Structure 1
């Protein structure tokens, strides 16, 4: 199901139109500029809220694919691509996943993360070529992100992935766009014209980041990479994260700091293992076996041991 825009037939995409609220922005005081931007940003969350049914469907689609050994591959260009790349980069340290699980394809490659490479956005051939390198297939989900919904690189990549059997999702801020039509499932957040006309790094970018946060966090929660609302699977590579791991064990298992520290040490610094050891009163080996059998899902591992 796709949400239909009420703006069909108009020439300019909504994100490219003039915003009367910010007329003479350059003549405003710093406070007035901040107030205008803040007021426009406040419109984003309600728009995203209207797309929650599609977002929920996308979470389920992604979780199923990852559960079956597939990948989530983001595709984008410019601001949209950078926001997607940021989300992909955060998944391994946050959830202790393999970098293969969530990937990104960026028009212009890694160089475009820090330098504008606008010309590549217009190449359908480059879009097909870059996604083809990842060999998308039936187990995978390819997610195209484009504020306008018209970026040729991204549209072509999504079309190619779909032709190879991958499930496809679109995130765009303009209804009835080529990207929306190319994907199996579209998430459309029509946030309206930008404070600086056409600068989609603003409201459109904020909406995209909000949606991506929900998709990746929601899928990881469904897969058991969190326990309750705790980041139990995160890497513990510095003092701050080690302390966070101890606090998580204290909170989740209702034990003292000393007990949490002992359990974490016995679990070789693996919070999920320590949590299962404490919760089910089992050895490290038993906890690790339960986690392996439940594909790392902490809650299911605990429930399995509690039934035995």
Structure 2
């Protein structure tokens, strides 16, 4: 391993608790495609790995860009790191890349931190010659991310906030429904964000026959499909997000089952957060996760 591998090259805070980092990972940068992700470890002494979408890549520099929200123990550790620090490990690119083609009009919906994985996918569909509409949702104006970057290539951008402090005071499903009611209807829709948002996007487009792709972010451990932690039900069949996904037909995903599984390890996560730097506490929580699977 070269001494610069997995070094943090830049760090930028995008909004409250949301950070962007460029990481030196030349082999991943060279192979990465839109829609793929990495598994990242911060601490060599504690092996928790978290999945993060590759938001961008610079092959010449040998870097990948990640965007993450500080919500748990590991992301809090990651947010505390600075330029020049090194990550313990970065595994990727993982998952199936987005199938990008020229289909006509594509509507991309990003909710909160979901705008980050949406960005490279939307950019790829625009580069393929599609008319691109992007809907960005957040609780308030301070939490809207990547708006300028997306406006640079999208044909139309609509911002929705819960409190109306930026753009429209509306849920992202409101403009999505309006586009579905127009003639001609969108040829494809893509939704990435909280599971409940993606579920309601699916119910919004379903009556109009507009296809929907969703990118799922589930519990993951090994990233190879062996542990089964990331399993979801799609069209009545069991799929593994890390190898079969992360993208699926949003009209076939069992979102209720997925959301129930995401809550399965909440007690352990709370214990990890309360334990802080207590390595034994964190290892116990990780062991309990694996035992339940």
Shared fold (TM-score, shorter chain, > 0.5) = no
User: Which of 1 and 2 has higher RCO (CA within 8 Å, sep 6+)?
Assistant: 1
**When the two structures are superposed, what TM-score results if normalisation uses the length of structure 1?**
0.32
- Whose strand proportion is higher, 1 or 2? 2
Structure whose residues are more often helix by fraction: 1
Instruction: Tell me the TM-score normalized by structure 2.
Output: 0.33
Q: Which has the larger radius of gyration?
A: 1
